[in-house]
Structure 1
Amino acid sequence: MIHESQMMSDTPVSEPTPAAPTALANVSRRAMLGGMGALVLALSWREPALAEDKKEEPKKFGADAMPHGWQDDPKVFVAIAPDGTVTVTCHRAEMGQGVRTSIAFVIADELEAIWDKVKVTQAWGDETRFGNQDTDGSRSLRHFFQHLRHAGAAARLMLVQAAAKQWNVPVSEVKAENHVVTHAKSKRSLGYGEIAAAAAALPVPARESVALKDAKDFKYIGKGKIGLVDNRDITTGKAIYGLDTRIDGMLYAVVARPPVFGGKVTSFDDADAKKIPGVVKIFQIDAPEAPVEFQPLGGVAVIAKNTWAAMKARDALKVTWDDGPNATYDSVAFRGELEKAARAPGKVVRNQGDVDGAMAKAKKKIEAEYFVPHLVQAPMEPPAAVVRIKDGFCEAWACTQAPQATHDRLAKKLNLAADKVRVNQTLLGGGFGRKSKPDYVVEAALCSQAVDGAPVKLVWTREDDIHHGYYHTISVERLEAGLDDKGMPVAWLHRSAAPTIGSIFAAGAKNELPFELGMGLTNTPFNVPNIRLENPEADAHVRIGWFRSVSNIPHAFAIQSFVNELAHAAGKDPKDYLLALIGPDRKIDPTTLGDVWNYGEDPSRYPIDTGRLRGVIEAAAKGIGWGRKMAKNTGLGIAGHYSFVTHTAVAAEVEVGDKGEVRVKRVDIAIDCGPQVNPERIRSQMEGAVVMGMGLALSSEITFKDGRAQQNNFDGYEITRIDAAPKEIHVHLLPNPNYSGPLGGVGEPGVPPVAPAIANAIFAATGRRIRQLPIRDQLSA
């Protein structure tokens, strides 16, 4: 939705300058260093780089079969003002996950800062200065936790060293605690602000000389007692999202894009559109050449004095489209193509033992196919950006998950040097992967360029977002298992047929990339002697992109549903059968299974731990009361999954009405993500994952006919409504006190087990199998 004032007003207001300490501002480096205070630390401790370190998206995600992925290079500013205020610069995007808060209190804890004296500022897009800024892959704290701790501890040590030097006492006799540096013997003390200038004159201490706090002394880390730093601004409407950005002289723009991916403008008549009061300019944006990557789709842009005029003028355009090579794309028919592909041999991505021989000797053979449709991220705030090009300098304000990628695309498209482009990151009203692709920011830049550099706000409507997005892939998963006389599988075959995200980076790409295969397929951790996993070819007819949890969604749905089918065939309890299939506790190097990606992590540090996977399954089952007697038409279902180096399980209680309506009454979700930095936000993420996962299970899908998305808004693309949410969601956080050990991801791992747990619960309640999503009215027949 567009706020009424944005749609109707022709009068711009000044660019907002936040007044509250928790508000976020984008400022120049000079202003930042000068305004923050006396002590400013730019701390960078680089860990050994791994092969194909980073930079280009296809390589970064394993297209070239790198062994262990990439490492980030953190450069985080910590500043202490003369009044003692500590300012932390957050280099990752805030979109509701609480990263601004979590990053700040990790530093504040090691710094021994009082929370009331801490504020946060948002970094602009500059990977050289701030390290990797892509907020994706559930890795913001996973990759930066120890670096953030060292930044806070180094600042604390510098304060201590400065005070010891001023008092001419040994450093060992000086202590920093609760925002005060003290010398007990002489009873002297200094506030952080009083000694900050002296500390700033000292060299940054070597990493090995910096002592981190013992976990038992943490005040913020792991306590879960701190609310969001910007919660008041968000709830009172003061927070600045991408759609809220306004600067003097700003114009507004929308784009009529090709209704079919790969299409282009043949001709257009803008005579009627120009009659709309307030229209400033109408011009054509050329369609991109393949591969499309993050480029705009092309079309006809309309720039006006307000959004309403731009939208009305777009409606008045008469555009003739060449629909291009995807003009006949029909997702229902394409499902048949995927099914055909999944029923024939494909590219082997893991081969263990002799599947064909074991299958031939099995006592029983079970097979099933599962289907997941296209999905769209549909964040509450659609894509939006403001761009101004002035005196050869491009400045953007955008709700982007990837400010550095945005910067690079702007520089390339406008043919500007890197230092002539700046991307200011606003708060995001949701992202889920959509806002890591900055095509909409490039569109805004082209609009500004078309009006001699005047600032232009480019707005996507909800319909634009649903019709022209980067969609989660459509997939067919075929599984076959040969069972022994005890009902356990001796042979396992899984074919996963789905268009790849690689198709936006390489024209004609038809097989999934290693990072997609490594999301619950190649790293299947079951104790089965003979396993073969295959990936048949599949064409992409739409833009395929990241969606929260990505390929874990279809893989988890298929595998965890199939395990439930095997348990039924064996006459065994589904939870006990799943645990037996996982087998004894062991730590598995995923590269030995064919997963060359492992979420970009070193497998020696991040193995698949079947003991931890068993632990979350047992915790979810215990929480929901697994095994209790159930009322008629109600049932319990369970599913577990490993993703983003985190182990998660979901147990669901479902009731099915007489007309086939599904009611999810209760969900228990258990997570083992290693050390817990911010338990309150972990709980919130898991609760949100349950609700989002329910939408994928019950109602959400995008279908295509004649190359066009058939859904328009939330009336067609249905997400979970508040009246459908479970009355009870219980989150079980498995403790892990080893804060020197590796952290797992949190933002995405909660989604994949939700749909199979619900589907399995429906079978327990009704005896009917769910093998395709969304469920919708399947049970009403």
Structure 2
Amino acid sequence: MIHEAQTMADLANPTVEAGPSALANVSRRAMLGGMGALVLALSWRDPARADDKKDEPKKYGADAMPHGWQDDPKVFVAIQPDGTVTVTCHRAEMGQGVRTSIAFVVADELEADWAKVKVAQAWGDEARFGNQDTDGSRSLRHFFPHLRHAGAAARAMLVQAAAKQWGVPAGEVKAENSVLTHAKSKRTLGYGEVAAAAAELPVPARESVVLKKPEAFRYIGKGKIGLIDNHDFTTGRAMYGIDTRLEGMLYALVARPPVFGGKVKSVDDSEAKKVAGVVKIFTIDAPEIPSEFQPIGGVAIIAKNTWAATKARDALKITWDDGPNAGYDSVAFRGELEKAARAPGKVVRDQGDVAGAMAKAKTKLEAEYFVPHLVQAPMEPPAATVRIKDGFCEVWACTQAPQATHDRLAKKLNLPADKVRVNVTLLGGGFGRKSKPDYVLEAALCSQAVDGAPVKLIWTREDDLHHGYYHTISVERLEAGLDDKGMPVAWLHRSAAPTIGSIFAPDPKHELPFELGMGLTNTPFAVPNIRLENPAADAHVRIGWFRSVSNIPHAFAIQSFVAELAHAAGRDPKEYLLALIGPDRVIDPTTIGDVWNYGEDPARYPIETARLRKVIEAAAKGIGWGRKMPKGTGLGIAGHYSFVTHTAVAAEVAVGPKGEVQVKRVDIAVDCGPQVNPERIRSQMEGAVVMGMGLALSAEITFKDGRAQQNNFDGYEITRIDAAPKEIHVHLLPNPDFNAPLGGVGEPGVPPVAPAIANAIFAATGRRIRQLPIRDQLSA
């Protein structure tokens, strides 16, 4: 079908200052301009995905899986008369390079000159663009074949238009580098010269579109293309949510309940009203628990500038009713989780006879591992600007979930769906926090409170750490019964952690299938008797997804325990891990308890132990596994399967005389299937290593009296540049078959980092790390 495409530049009011540069490199007016531009909207049906809307976890139940996901993802291709090609990106850019990767997949099949390619950002409209949630490491995993077809179909239409103009068979026309050539007559046409004519042609049927052969790729898999936004990034011209400027804009902050589930008991705003520039102060009602993505309540300050809003918020005198979580103490709660993990829990996988095998085992080992609350802490905190004018709500926000944002705004403001527009800016990091649009709803309520005037609401870093959606706290207890060769004949794992489901459903006690399927129920070890249990656990804070989600505690515990078993058996940790994985085999995750499998068809996305073995071997080879290490240094290794990708990390650490840990080198190996954009894969893996180091060494959120104790980056410590490894080596296992399924990239690199570091510390010092973060454990 053919219709008019819109871009981010067309969405902004003429008075909008979209930062130094807008996300769209071309406006609709310039795109169409009355000169006849080609605008192709290519649609398809994709039954390959299972429902993975994380905001509706009830659909993850075993009774609902697997079932086909049906939608009409659309890729827009526009060609201007001057030959400029604009690709509309339907996923949010938050540093992972998705705008570049989506554009160059389309451009490659289109045979476009990369120098003439631009990107426009899609607004929130799932009916038009397909699923837009940027999470789960699935942007290219799900859309790569469709992006290829979009580009190839556009190329076919251009070829057909040129052939018609020349009166020659389409088979004699060649498209290359934005030029159409008829070799026999030596005639050429630029893409822009036939765009209008091509636009009049019907879009070819999907099955008739001829894709390029991989050997003809110019961009896909080559790793030679930098970020399309790189100039804007490096010159400060890139527009993030926090950068939005509208004429007459006001600024807002919110004083939120310090305890989740709390509410305002009384407020004295007399001093706050005296602050020059204050426009309005009002109370946002606290939602019922579960709160889902709703604002958690509090007192909003709207002012003419952020300084006035800040001073006024500081001047508020609020008496809080702390509610049901007033006594939450994360240290004490760890004890509750430990108690739960030491007793039988809900069985989520039961293979063989664990109790019988454990009783007959020659030796038995057990260990408990702890991971604290974590918070995403993106460099750009949550920010949104909302204007409600003439019954139309328009938003500019750094959101990972524009459709969820759109739907909740429409409901909150009681507006028809077509009266809400969510414009997606660049995101200064996300890591899952910006999938939850509570901050956008707050901004909308503020705009509504001042008769629809544009209001920008920003969370401070303190707001972000005190009122976020936290990664769950967890205790992992593992027990193994070993035979006379030191190999396990029985394996028991109890995972106790509050569930993400607690923000959606009242008082859930157990983790959902998608959480259990992140490295627990799909444990791929060749152990004859395995029992996995999930004890009950209450939630006392908002639990949300965090990069890699439940893979973090599961990988830390399992891969650390494997190293402990290897030591008990007197064997090399790498060789023991490979022996535990066992012979090469293809495992259908649903046959061993994982009904979710990352929302993918298990026949297309099985666990392949050969691939897991190869990444472990690649990481070990890269770091020089087995070499003699100086005193106080050691090597550690870990492997993990997540987001349908196999990853392994080998780490070299040095531990100083005062217990200080230095990660000197990390080798990370990844098998994600065909590599669409190797440069971005390497960058993602490097970022995963640095983030994983922070989780291992320093990051944690603790609670006392229901209140988060960390205020800023001085308390919640992420990895700083002086602590980063001097060497990070990324090993990409080749897979040239672009018909094979793609794996995820954004999240799989994080889980193996912490256990690899912990195992390296044991090799260096003989001391086990069983709780994160490590901090000063080694100095005691």
TM over 0.5: yes
Q: For 1:470-509, list aligned pairs within 5 A.
A: 470-509=469-508
Shift of 1:55: 8.8
- Aligned partner of 1:776 in structure 2 is 775
Which residue of the partner structure matches residue 542 of structure 2? 543
Question: Distance between the aligned counterparts of 1:701 and 1:354, measured in 2?
Answer: 38
Q: Which residue of 2 aligns with 1:604?
A: 603
1:16 counterpart residue number: 17
Shift of 1:771: 0.2
Q: What is the identity, as a one-letter code, of the residue corresponding to 1:15?
A: V
Please say if residues 32 and 80 of structure 2, whose CA atoms lie closer than 8 Å, have aligned partners that are also in contact: no
> TM-score, with normalisation over the residues of structure 2?
0.96
In the alignment, the residues of structure 1 paired with residue 475 and residue 739 of structure 2 have an alpha-carbon distance, to the nearest angstrom, of: 41
* Deviation readout 1:173-202 (Å, 9 max, x if unpaired): 111111111111111111100011111000
Shift of 1:375: 0.2
By how many angstroms is 1:234 displaced? Answer: 1.1
Matches within 5 A, 1:29-68: 38-48=37-47, 57-62=56-61, 65-67=64-66
- When structure 1 is superposed on structure 2, of 40-49 and 714-723 the one drifting more is 40-49
Identify the residue that residue 525 of structure 1 maps to in structure 2. 524
Query: C-alpha deviations, 1:633-687, integer Å up to 9, x for none?
Result: 1000000000000000000001001111101000000000000011111111000
Give the aligned residue type for 2:245. R
Aligned position for 1:445 = 444
Deviation string 1:460-496 (CA, Å, 9 cap, x unpaired) is 0000000000000000000000001111100000000
Structure-2 residue corresponding to 1:741: 740
User: Which of 495-504 and 183-192 deviates more?
Assistant: 183-192
1:556-595 to 2 correspondence within 5 Å?
556-595=555-594
Q: What amino acid does structure 2 have at the position aligned with 1:768?
A: R
| 2:683 partner amino acid | S
- The Cα shift of 1:169 comes to 1.3
CA distance in 2, matches of 1:740, 1:33: 35
State how far apart, in whole Å, the 2-side matches of 1:86 and 1:30 are: 14
Task: Please say which of residues 617-626 and 59-68 is displaced more in the overlay.
Answer: 59-68
Q: Distance in 1 between matches of 2:654 and 2:24?
A: 48
Instruction: Give the 3 Å change call, closer, same or farther, for CA 724–160 of structure 1 in structure 2.
Output: same
How far off its partner does 1:171 sit? 1.3
Q: How many residues align?
A: 768
What is the root-mean-square deviation of aligned Cα atoms in Å?
A: 1.7
| Contact kept in structure 1, 2:19 and 2:243, CA below 8 Å | no
Alpha-carbon distance between aligned partners in 1 of 2:253 and 2:486, rounded to the nearest angstrom: 59
Deviation at 1:763, TM superposition (A): 0.4
CA pair 72-529 structure 1, distance change in 2 beyond 3 A: farther
Task: Flag the 1:759–1:55 CA change in 2: closer, same or farther, 3 A.
Answer: closer
| 2:456 is equivalent to residue 466 of structure 1 | no
Deviation, structure 1 residue 70: 3.8
Q: Give the aligned residue type for 1:623.
A: G
String of CA shifts for 1:483-511, please: whole Å, max 9, x gaps: 01111100000000000000000010110
Contact 1:97-1:747 at 8 Å conserved across structures: yes
- Which letter maps to 1:541? H
* Equivalent AA in structure 1 for residue 657 of structure 2: D
Separation in 2, partners of 1:55, 1:766: 42
Whether 1:431 and 2:430 are equivalent positions in the alignment is yes
Query: Match for residue 158 of structure 2?
Result: 159
Q: Is the contact made by 1:636 and 1:653 (CA closer than 8 Å) also made in structure 2?
A: yes
Q: 1:179-578 residue pairs with structure 2 within 5 A?
A: 179-578=178-577
Question: In the alignment, residue 104 of structure 1 is paired with which amino acid?
Answer: A
Deviation of the 1:459 alpha carbon: 0.8
Separation in structure 1 between the aligned mates of residue 637 and residue 392 of structure 2, nearest angstrom: 55
Instruction: State the one-letter code of the partner of 1:143.
Output: H
CA distance in structure 2 between the aligned counterparts of 1:391 and 1:42, rounded to whole angstroms: 30
Taking structure 1 as reference, are residues 473 and 71 closer, same or farther at Cα in structure 2, changes over 3 Å only? Answer: farther
Secondary structure class of the residue paired with 1:272:
helix
Distance 1:314 1:519 in 2: 41
Distance 1:35 1:339 in 2: 69
Q: Go from structure 1 to structure 2 and tell me whether the alpha carbon gap of 1:561 and 1:36 turns closer, same or farther (over 3 Å shift).
A: farther
TM-superposed deviation, 1:62: 4.6
Instruction: Please say if residues 47 and 68 of structure 2, whose CA atoms lie closer than 8 Å, have aligned partners that are also in contact.
Output: no
Deviations 1:301-358 (A, max 9, x none): 0000001100110000000100000000000000000000000111100000000000
For residue 19 of structure 1, report the CA deviation from its aligned partner: 8.4
Q: Percent identity?
A: 88
Question: Against the structure 1 CA distance between its residues 255 and 28, is the aligned structure 2 distance closer, same or farther, given a 3 Å change threshold?
Answer: farther
Q: What per-residue deviation string (whole Å, max 9, x for no partner) do you get for residues 235-293 of structure 1?
A: 11111101100100000000000000000001100000001000000000000012200
Q: Distance in 2 between matches of 1:427 and 1:601?
A: 28
Find the aligned partners of 1:190 and 1:271 in 2 and give their Cα distance.
71
Alignment of 1:595-674 (within 5 A): 595-674=594-673
Does structure 2 retain, via aligned residues, the 8 Å contact 1:70–1:601? no
2:51–2:599 CA contact under 8 A, matched in 1: no
1:347-383 CA distance string (max 9 Å, x none): 1000000000000000110000000000000000000
CA offset digits 1:412-467 (Å, max 9, x no partner): 00000000000000000000000000000000000000000000000100000000
Is residue 150 from structure 1 mapped to residue 126 from structure 2 by the alignment? no
Shift of the alpha carbon at 1:36?
Answer: 10
Matches within 5 A, 1:89-100: 89-100=88-99
Q: Deviations over 1:88-135 (max 9, x none)?
A: 000000000000000000000000000000000000000000000000
Show the counterpart of 2:7: none
Indicate the larger mover: 464-473 or 59-68.
59-68
Paired with 2:510 and 2:272, the residues of 1 have a C-alpha distance of 44
Task: State the distance in 1 between where 2:572 and 2:78 align.
Answer: 57
Say if 1:370 and 1:772, in contact at 8 Å, map to a contact too. yes
Q: Is the 8 A contact 1:374 1:474 kept in 2?
A: yes
- Pick closer, same or farther for the CA change 1:483–1:242 going to 2, 3 Å: same
State the alpha-carbon separation in 1 of the partners of residues 67 and 526 from structure 2: 24
SS in 2 for 1:196: helix
What are the ranges of 5 or more consecutive residues in structure 2 without an aligned counterpart? 1-12
Q: Whole-Å Cα distance in 2 between the matches of residues 289 and 586 of structure 1? A: 48
Local SS of the residue matching 2:270: coil
Q: Which amino acid aligns with 2:443?
A: A
Letter in 2 for 1:16: E
Letter paired with 2:363: K
Per-residue CA shift, 1:686-714, capped at 9, x if unaligned? 00000000000000000000000000000
Go from structure 1 to structure 2 and tell me whether the alpha carbon gap of 1:87 and 1:52 turns closer, same or farther (over 3 Å shift): closer
Q: TM-score if structure 1 supplies the norm length?
A: 0.96
The alignment partner of 1:378 has SS state of coil
Structure 1 regions of 5+ residues with no counterpart? 1-11
Code of the residue aligned with 2:485 in structure 1: it is K
- Aligned amino acid, residue 17 of structure 2: P
User: 1:47 deviation in Å?
Assistant: 2.1
1:34 to partner: Cα distance: 5.9
